Amino acid sequence: MTKSTNQSLKPTTLRVNNSGNLEIGGCDTVDLANIYDTPLYVIDEKTLRNICHDYKKAFEKYPKTHMMYASKALCTGAVSKILDEEGFGFDTVSAGEIYTIYKAGIDMTHVLFNGNNKTYEELELALDLGVGRISADNFFELALLNEIAQSKGKTADILLRITPGIECHTHEYIQTGHLDSKFGFDMTQIDSAIDLILNEYKNIKLHGLHAHIGSQIFETSIFPDEIEIMAREIARIEEKFELHLNEINIGGGLGVKYTPKDVPPSTFEIGELIINKISEVVEKYNIEPPTIFLEPGRSIISTSGVTLYTVGSSKQVPHGTKYVAVDGGMADNPRPSMYQAEYVAEVANKKETDKTEKVTIAGRYCESGDILIKDITLPELEEGDVLCVYNTGAYNYSMASNYNRVQKPAMILVNDSKSEVIVKRETLDDLTAHDIIPDRLKK
C-alpha cells in the first residue's frame, strides 16, 4: 500500500542545508528563529497540500465523497484558504471558527457546524451566514434551532449526530463514539428525534446521520464498522418513517506519526476500506449510494507543522535528570501535560556531531508538569541553540493559552524558500488590551 503524508514524522520538504542547519520549505530554520523570534509555529505549505492530494486520490473512486477539514485542529484564515483551494469544506465547532472561515471569503455552504452545546448566538450566526449543514447533537438543540430558524423564516439543514457504540483504543479524553459520551443522540433516541423533526419542527430538514468515533485512530476496522451501523440505521429509518436520508458523515480521527513507534494507517488504506464497505452496505441494505462526508483534521495539518524554540537554562540533578529549558512549553503546546503526548525533536543548528546526551526538555512555565519531551537523546545543548519539535501543526496553536501572562507565538507559512507571517506574535499591549480598571481603583 502506498505511503501517505500522515505516516511521515517530519515535513516532506525537510532537509539539512549546506550550513548544516535544518531547512523546511526551502527556509533555514535558524534564520527563521532569528527573523521571527521564538517560540515560532512553522507550517510547511507543500506538506499540507500533499496530504490534501493524498486524501483526494484515496477517495477518487467514490465521487460522492466530501472532505470537511476539522477546523479545531488549526483554524486560521491562511490555512483555511489553502484548504479551500484544495477542494475541502470545513467542520466547525464554534462561532469563532465559523467567522474565521467567513472572513477568509469561503463559500459557507461548504461548512458544517458541530458541537454538543451550541449557543443561541452561534446557531443564529450559522443560519445568518448560510452554513451548509448543522450537526444536531441533542433534543435541546433541536428545539432551539427550530425556534431560531422559524423566527428568521428559514429552514435549518441538519444531520443527526449519533453515538454508534464504537470504542476506539485511544486516550480516554479523545474517545467520542462510545455509548457513554457527552456527544450525540444515543441510538435509542433516534426515533424520538425524527418524530419531532417530522411532526413538530417544521423549520428543520434532516439529510442524514453523523458520527465521530475518536481521534488519533490506528485501527483500520473502526470506519467500516461505523459505516455498517449508519447504513443499517438509514435503511431502518426509511422503512419505518418513509424518510429518505442520503448523507453519512463518518467524522475523522485518522492518526499521525508523532514518534517512530507510531504506525498510523495510510489515507489510501482507509480510503479503500471505506469505499469497499460503502459498496457492500448499499447492496446489503438496498439503499441509494450515500454522499459520504469525512472530517480529517489532525491528519491534514499535523505533519506540516513544527515549532521552533530557543534553548535557555539547564539543570543537572545530581545522579539524576538533566533538564534543558526552552522559551516555550505548556502554554503553546499543552498536549504533553494534558494527554501525556510524546514528540520528537532535533537541534536545528547542530546536525553534525558525535557528542550526545540524554536530557528532558522543560518548558518555561511555573508548573512542575511543564515538560515537553522526557528523556530524549540530542547533541549537547547550549544556550541559544534552536530546537525543532516535529508534528506540532495540530492542536498546539488551537489549544494555546496566555498562562503566566505570556504572549502567544507567531505562526509563519513557508513555501518555495519564502516565509510569510499568517498569525502575528502577540505583544504585551495585546495582553492588556481587554483589561479594564474601574475608575474607583484609579485614584
Which residues are registered as beta bridge partners of 134?
113, 158
Conformation bin of residue 441: beta by default, left when phi > 0, alpha when psi is -120 to 50: alpha
Chain centroid to CA 170: 16
Looking only at the bridges linking them, the beta strands covering 322-326 and 356-362 are: parallel
**Residue in 27, 52, 168, 366 annotated catalytic:** 366
To the query of whether residue 52 is one of the catalytic residues in this protein, the response is no
Are 309 and 387 a contacting pair, CB within 8 Å?
A: yes
Tell me the three state secondary structure of residue 437. coil
The C-alpha atoms of residue 231 and residue 238 are separated, in whole angstroms, by: 11
Cell readout for 344 is: 520528537
Segment (H or E) for 135? strand 133-136
Q: Which residue has the cell 469525512?
A: 294
What are the DSSP E strand ranges found in 295-379? 305-316, 322-326, 345-347, 356-362, 371-379
Cis peptide before 336 (omega within 30 of 0): no
Catalytic residues: 366
